[in-house]
Amino acid sequence: MTEGTAPAWAVVATPVLLTLLAMAARSGDALLAAREAGRPVTAGAALRPLLDIPRLLAAQPRRTPVLDRLLWRTGVLVVPVSAVLSVLVLPLGHGAAPAGLSVGVVWFNAMEVMTWAGLWLAGWAPNAAFALVGGYRFLAQALAYELPLMFALIAPATAAGSLRVGDIVAAQHGLWFVVWMPVAFAAYLLAVPAFAFFGPLRYPAAPDIAGGVLGEVSGPDRLMLTAGRWLWLAAGAAMAVPLFLGGGAGPLLPGWAWSLVKTLAVLAALVWAGRSLPVIRADRYLELAWVVLLPLTIAQALVPAVVAMAG
């Protein structure tokens, strides 16, 4: 189970593709919002949020008194940059990943944990109360989602006997992991909006604290942080495909096309669910995560472990 080397252009193509997916998610969300509000669902409604990109780039940044500019900027940049780095271990279809790291799953996890640092800094550095509350809210939420997510990631890696994402795809030949690891898949899908602080888990950036971590940030910094949110949503959807949905496996179409179709399907489901569900408080989510999800995901990780021992 070895992996060839990916062509050099894949290092550029993967981030570009991730950005396009993030934009698609943002547009899809805008369409759902337009439908909810009774506005016409047109191409214009889908493209309007993308106008924020030039608008934010040209906008005059707001400042808060006694802010820590270095840490603020670091935090704001860490979120999108780590999202882009996280997907470098994903193979496009049957091909090799741009970074053929033998511990791809752990790499994805480590990059996702970078958002802890990024969002806490983004909340702390502006020296503003609501942003600070948002940063601390994210940490509370992170303590809830992280362990179930880790066990959800461990389950497919155990079944494949490898931490390399390409090997996990190869191990699903014939039977996708989602079929016999539905609990891990569900726990993973629940963690994606949590690290993207999106939808029902937008608690750190919720309207009740005036946007929280997004409350004070403006101009190009705001563009980076909001981009980080959508990039992480797209990265989480993209990672679900090789982990649970067989990667590029499928009839007729080539591998990369199936990867893309499945990623778009997961992303669409996440965006739709994000619009449909109310925000959940971190203390509620924490109790649910530790009392219900964590035992379930451990039991789920036991299944591939027993199969691997027997096999």
Partner 1 sequence: METLVFGCLAVTALTMGWLVFVLGSMARVTFALLAALVCVGGVTMLLGLPYLGVVLVLMTVMEMVIMAVFMIAYMMNPAGLMPMSMVHNRYGAMAIAAGVFLALAAGILLVPWPARPAGEPPADTTFQLGEALMGTQMLTMTVLGLVLLSTMVAAIVLATARGRYDRYGDRLERRVPRDPAAGGTGGAGR
Residues found near partner 1 in the complex (CB under 8 A): 66, 68, 70-71, 74, 101-103, 106-107, 109-110, 113-114, 116-117, 120-121, 124-125, 127, 136, 139, 146, 163, 281, 283-284, 286-288, 291-292
CB–CB of 146/288 below 8 Å? no
User: What is the smallest separation between the CB atom of 196 and partner 1, expressed in angstroms?
Assistant: 17
CA separation for the pair 58, 220 (Å, rounded): 8
User: What is the smallest separation between the CB atom of 126 and partner 1, expressed in angstroms?
Assistant: 11
User: What is the smallest separation between the CB atom of 75 and partner 1, expressed in angstroms?
Assistant: 9
**CB of 46 or CB of 209, closer to partner 1:** 209
**CB of 120 or CB of 230, closer to partner 1:** 120
**CB of 196 or CB of 245, closer to partner 1:** 196
CA separation for the pair 287, 99 (Å, rounded): 37
**CB of 108 or CB of 185, closer to partner 1:** 108
**Inter-helix orientation angle 219-244/182-195, to 10°:** 170
Q: Answer positive or negative: Cα dihedral of 185, 186, 187, 189.
A: positive
User: What is the smallest separation between the CB atom of 147 and partner 1, expressed in angstroms?
Assistant: 11
For tokens 């090799």, what's the residue? 96
User: What is the smallest separation between the CB atom of 72 and partner 1, expressed in angstroms?
Assistant: 11
**CB of 275 or CB of 281, closer to partner 1:** 281
Question: Buried b vs exposed e over 153-181: b needs ≥16 C-beta within 10 Å?
Answer: bbbbbbbbebbbbbbbbbbbeeebbbeeb
CA separation for the pair 33, 45 (Å, rounded): 9
**CB of 65 or CB of 251, closer to partner 1:** 65
User: What is the smallest separation between the CB atom of 6 and partner 1, expressed in angstroms?
Assistant: 17
**CB of 127 or CB of 218, closer to partner 1:** 127
User: What is the smallest separation between the CB atom of 3 and partner 1, expressed in angstroms?
Assistant: 13
Question: Buried b vs exposed e over 115-136: b needs ≥16 C-beta within 10 Å?
Answer: bbebbbbbbbbbebebbbbbbb
Enumerate residues 6+ apart whose C-beta is below 8 A from 187: 148, 149, 151, 152, 293, 296, 297, 300
Using alpha carbons, select from 17, 16, 19, 32 the residue that is nearest to residue 271: 32
**CB of 41 or CB of 67, closer to partner 1:** 67
Rounded to the nearest 5 percent, the helix, strand and coil shares of the chain are 75, 0, 25
CA separation for the pair 17, 270 (Å, rounded): 18
User: What is the smallest separation between the CB atom of 184 and partner 1, expressed in angstroms?
Assistant: 19
